[in-house]
Structure 1
């Protein structure tokens, strides 16, 4: 249940205020955090309450799986079996032989999907967030044998579907949550600027195509966190709002609501610690998206440059805001059906074919949809 204890007002006695404040972790230290009890109370958690085996998957790859960690830790607090998957930005071609290579019938003699664990080694440890997440979970006693099912970035929609069907059947998955760090996953394809749509659309199309016999359509959820972080790539907030409104009006149950992650919650503190651990392992590749989400949840605002990415963004203007720390939740069916180039990529077998399909669709447009006036 949600912890409703508040920081005392200035009218409270100083002794009582001090006692209450001591219930919250000090920002100057990072003591071990235990999962504890579930702190979220929203439509997504209510859906999960009836399921025991849940899959959380990064939508756009890289650190997107970290964007799902507040959900992961809260679901673990509910004693759920939570499994992880992601689209890799790292090179999987040199993966060690002790890491399971899950063969896909659609890709004979190709290494497309691996069950990455804490001891995995692809000889490219400069950027390997999936491995470092497994290390963190294992070292902190959260999971004895953590695995992140990791897809090669160039897989294509066909491979994403087949791979996820294997994972779902292997673990008896009852609910799948696809998580995007940012909100460009809500772009339809006819907008003037799309952000970085290829990985997102490949994952969305791949999950949408999963057989209903393997996972019912209403058990596939899309969640995005990091509102406004894609402005750097030209994604305008008013188009995100417009597309969300379209889903609300056109698809019954398409929008599941939005909710904030609070800085006092254990699921956030563990998310932050997991990111800190990975950032230290990959000092030159700290995630801009995850850093901005953390900053927003902690109450920073405007052009604040988080320490871990200060050098990477020193010439950029960031727009940290309270909406950045919120999950916006949709049905995969609604998001996929508003993806206007779905038919152009649904049979793709590589990232190149996804890119070609998007480009082919864009050439059919006479004009691009521009942001509508928004007074704020």
Structure 2
């Protein structure tokens, strides 16, 4: 089974450090669990369907726009930096960038083997329960300090 990730960097404001994501990707590469990455481009039919789907969702749920999908599509369209397509993000600082439009593919089992709190997730049924399990784990361990990427 595969785990495919899109939107690298979108969750920085949720405390996900780029350096640690890249370190984990390097570790998964060494172990054979990283299968590579590829870019999405605006002219791809799947990207155009993604844009249509997001427009449909935003029309159906105007009070709940997807910051993640909007950021990814903005990146694919070539926007950069503190670009805001949604009024709900104004007042915050975004870093829209081309890395958000990369798909990363991993062997699911290899990712699961690295997860230190996987057992705590087995009985979770909701996003809230997952969040509480992760927070409880983080309260019990020494979380590494934030490290910036030297770019």
TM-score (norm 1): 0.38
**How far off its partner does 1:368 sit?**
1.0
- Structure 1 Cα separation of the partners of residues 148 and 12 of structure 2: 16
CA RMSD of aligned residues (A): 1.8
Regions of 4+ moved over 6 Å: none
Structure 2 counterparts to residues 131-280 of structure 1, below 5 A: 220-249=1-30, 251-252=31-32, 254-280=33-59
- Structure 1 Cα separation of the partners of residues 74 and 58 of structure 2: 15
Given that residues 17 and 148 in structure 2 are in contact (C-alpha distance below 8 angstroms), is that contact kept between their aligned partners in structure 1?
Answer: no
Residue 289 of structure 1 aligns to a residue in which SS? Answer: helix
TM-score (norm 2): 0.89
Shift of the 372–266 alpha-carbon distance from structure 1 to 2, 3 Å rule, reads same
Aligned length: 150
* Unaligned stretches of 5+ residues in structure 1: 1-219
**How far off its partner does 1:373 sit?**
4.7
- Structure 2 Cα separation of the partners of residues 289 and 356 of structure 1: 21
Structure of larger gyration radius: 1
Shift of the 299–369 alpha-carbon distance from structure 1 to 2, 3 Å rule, reads same
**How far off its partner does 1:281 sit?**
1.5
Q: Verify: 1:314 aligned to 2:124, yes or no.
A: no
- Structure 2 Cα separation of the partners of residues 246 and 301 of structure 1: 29
Residue 111 of structure 2 aligns to a residue in which SS? Answer: helix
- Structure 1 Cα separation of the partners of residues 28 and 48 of structure 2: 32
Shift of the 357–271 alpha-carbon distance from structure 1 to 2, 3 Å rule, reads closer
Given that residues 12 and 18 in structure 2 are in contact (C-alpha distance below 8 angstroms), is that contact kept between their aligned partners in structure 1?
Answer: yes
Residue 330 of structure 1 aligns to a residue in which SS? Answer: strand
Given that residues 344 and 360 in structure 1 are in contact (C-alpha distance below 8 angstroms), is that contact kept between their aligned partners in structure 2?
Answer: no
**How far off its partner does 1:343 sit?**
2.2
Shift of the 353–373 alpha-carbon distance from structure 1 to 2, 3 Å rule, reads closer
- Structure 2 Cα separation of the partners of residues 341 and 334 of structure 1: 14
Structure 2 counterparts to residues 1-376 of structure 1, below 5 A: 220-249=1-30, 251-252=31-32, 254-306=33-85, 309=86, 311-346=87-122, 348-351=123-126, 354-365=130-141, 367-376=142-151
- Structure 2 Cα separation of the partners of residues 268 and 261 of structure 1: 7
**How far off its partner does 1:353 sit?**
5.4
Higher relative contact order (CA 8 A, sep 6+): 2
**How far off its partner does 1:350 sit?**
3.6
